[in-house]
Structure 1
Amino acid sequence: MKALVLKKGGNIDNLEKKEVKKPQIKDNELLIKVHATSLNPSDYQTIEYLDENTKDIVLGLDVAGEVVNKGKNVKKFDIGDRVFYLRQMENPNGGFGEYSKNPEASTYKIPVNVSYEDAVTLPGAGFTAYYILKNRFKIDKNKTILIHGGSGNLGQFAIQLAKIMSLNIITTASSKNIEMLKKQGIEKIIDYKNQNIEREIKNITNNKGVDYIISSVNPEQATKDLGSLNFNGEIAFVSGFPDFNNIHFYDKSITMHEIAFGKLFEQKDLNIKKSLENIANDLVSLVDKNKLSIPNKTLIKLDEVPQYLKKLKNNEIQGKIIVNKII
């Protein structure tokens, strides 16, 4: 099969399109003919994290495709089923190839009216947004949430889910994306390049602070976010812990959530696996019912993945980049 192979870790330029063998599946796994995969920041972050001793792996976390073979212990899927999933990090056969493989327990069916291209946008950003808002935060209607990066993929899914949950939304964005967010009905937008986020939050909330924060920028911003919480507020850290020396015990009675979403798929607990299945089914159902829209999609070829990973790294991308029908 054709695949985009990481020859060795360290650099995006180490990706090379070549012929490789199809993945060999175990008794509990599915062989998937890949129809679509989407790019994530974790793709280039993984490449740069891996050293030169890591060789010949096929990346691509978000995958959607058709079941073409299954292990003897697989019960829930048949040949021809349309499925999507988040590739587990230890799986060397991801979405950047004609075929991928995945365990039955972490693979999910796509409704007939949902395209491969729409389904493949959900596993990374969509799952994470849902997990924070539905599984971690204790949401009360009409409270206020700060969602960083409202024009990004995580931000776009989080904003839509927050609307469904009747939350008052504040988001951050660069000036070039503010008009797009206004068209989506978001009124409280902070230009993070030209405005002081913490001061603007105080002004918007009359010094109370916000009730929920999805902190997805970096540890430095997460540290500042702690000061923007209301009493009994909740914060989810997606991109690193803050400096806890900036807060005092018995001050705001805040709740903090570490979001290690990828690690969830490594857990053996059946309740966790069922929870992940519920997230997948609920999200794709919302898309099927037109209650959740997909971020702007740009379709590319497999050969174009390296250049678009560089664009993604340089924050030049708006929406979701999708490799369509791997060939």
Structure 2
Amino acid sequence: MTTTYSSAAPTMLALHQTALGGPEVLRLTEVPRPVPGVGEILVAVHAAGLNPTDFKHRALSIFLPPPPLTLGWDVSGTVVETGPGVTLFQPGDEVFGMLPYPHGAGSHAEYVAGPARAFAAKPAEIDHVQAAALPLAALTAWQALVETAGLRAGQRVLIHAAAGGVGHLAVQIAKERGAHVTGTASAPKHDFLRELGADACVDYRVEDFAGTEERYDVVLDALGGETTTRSVDVLRPGGVLVSLLRGAEDTRAAAEKAGVRAVTLIVEHDQAGMRAIADLAAWGRLRAHVSGTFPLAEGARAHAQGETGRTTGKLVITVR
């Protein structure tokens, strides 16, 4: 990204950290407001989604340089300024999108700048909270199922952690593609999954997803570890395992022996994908389940709740 910060620029409030650690390192801090660079837009943030990668980078800064930093990749808001060369948007447009992952973080603030082509027009049919919950998780599901696995009507897909941020959107996208969907989740979340369209549910606490004769064309794995390894065994020949963690590399040899493909996906910002997601949301065929909203000043509390691992769907930080 080419975003710059000027000492003469106005300031803004951001959920900022100067050290790695638990949620307590997050502070509402006055920082310079970004200035959009070439091909960028400056967005007044209305709402910003929260994802597990935010928790991990707050504590470990996996892909990002050490603090100080402001996290957040999901954003929904209003364009207030355009940088040189931008033709797609103008001030006043409502947009939503995912900042370039991983180095484009910064949406947990009053303003954020990012490439114009990381955004799409926000559908009028959804509000900013709903729009902010979609980008990273929905793009992940779209890129995994549609672009990587090439999911087709009539195929069978297994989605691990199906009630989570990526999982519950993946269920909806898979059903939209005409697939038969099985989701793993604790029993209390099965009714939720069926409401989303899941055809079958597996209670991972008491059932072994690999202990039946069921075989799948696609497995989407957001859990890693042994789940990734054992998912190879439930694929049909020619099937695809898409892992959102790095475990797929360890299963590659077993996958090749079984005649299946195992890959690891890291989500990319993508305007075509965002437009597809916008269309599904506008038609009412894709909706994020928002289980909680928190004002920017309570971002640390949002992180603490998200890290419990018990969230259904998404958490969202509201800004204005």
8 Å CA contact retained: 1:70, 1:79: yes
Q: Which moved more, 1:30-39 or 1:286-295?
A: 286-295
Equivalent pairs, count? 306
**Amino acid across the alignment from 1:130:** W
Deviations 1:232-260 (CA, angstroms, capped at 9, x unpaired): 111111122243377274x4321223212
Deviations 1:181-207 (CA, angstroms, capped at 9, x unpaired): 23444342111011112104x2xx2xx
Is 1:292 the counterpart of 2:286? The answer is: yes
8 Å CA contact retained: 1:234, 1:254: yes
Which of the two has greater strand per residue?
A: 2
**1:9: which partner in 2?**
20
Query: 1:194-205 counterparts in 2 under 5 A?
Result: 194-200=206-212, 202=213, 205=214
Q: Which moved more, 1:227-236 or 1:182-191?
A: 182-191
CA distance 1:199–1:59, shift in 2 (3 Å): same
8 Å CA contact retained: 1:23, 1:100: yes
CA RMSD of aligned residues (A): 2.1
SS at match of 2:280: helix
C-alpha distance in 2 between matches for 1:187 and 1:113:
27
Superposition TM-score, scaled by structure 1 size? 0.87
**1:37: which partner in 2?**
48
C-alpha distance in 2 between matches for 1:179 and 1:138:
28
**Amino acid across the alignment from 1:247:** A
Query: 1:17-96 counterparts in 2 under 5 A?
Result: 17-50=28-61, 54-88=66-100, 89-91=102-104, 94-96=106-108
C-alpha distance in 1 between matches for 2:198 and 2:150:
23
8 Å CA contact retained: 2:255, 2:261: no
Query: 1:1-327 counterparts in 2 under 5 A?
Result: 1-50=12-61, 54-88=66-100, 89-91=102-104, 94-200=106-212, 202=213, 205=214, 209-242=215-248, 243-244=250-251, 247=254, 249=256, 251-261=257-267, 264-265=268-269, 276-326=270-320
C-alpha distance in 2 between matches for 1:35 and 1:322:
10
**Amino acid across the alignment from 2:80:** V
8 Å CA contact retained: 1:10, 1:47: yes
Note the C-alpha offset of 1:120.
1.2
Deviations 1:5-39 (CA, angstroms, capped at 9, x unpaired): 11222332111112121112212211111001011
8 Å CA contact retained: 1:170, 1:189: yes
8 Å CA contact retained: 2:252, 2:262: no
Residue segments in structure 1 that go unaligned for 5+ positions in a row: 266-275
CA distance 1:46–1:230, shift in 2 (3 Å): same
CA distance 1:131–1:254, shift in 2 (3 Å): same
**Amino acid across the alignment from 1:103:** P
Note the C-alpha offset of 1:96.
1.3
CA distance 1:53–1:290, shift in 2 (3 Å): closer
Note the C-alpha offset of 1:139.
2.7
8 Å CA contact retained: 1:222, 1:240: no
Residue segments in structure 2 that go unaligned for 5+ positions in a row: 1-11
8 Å CA contact retained: 1:10, 1:50: no
Deviations 1:50-75 (CA, angstroms, capped at 9, x unpaired): 39982332111101111111112211
Superposition TM-score, scaled by structure 2 size? 0.89
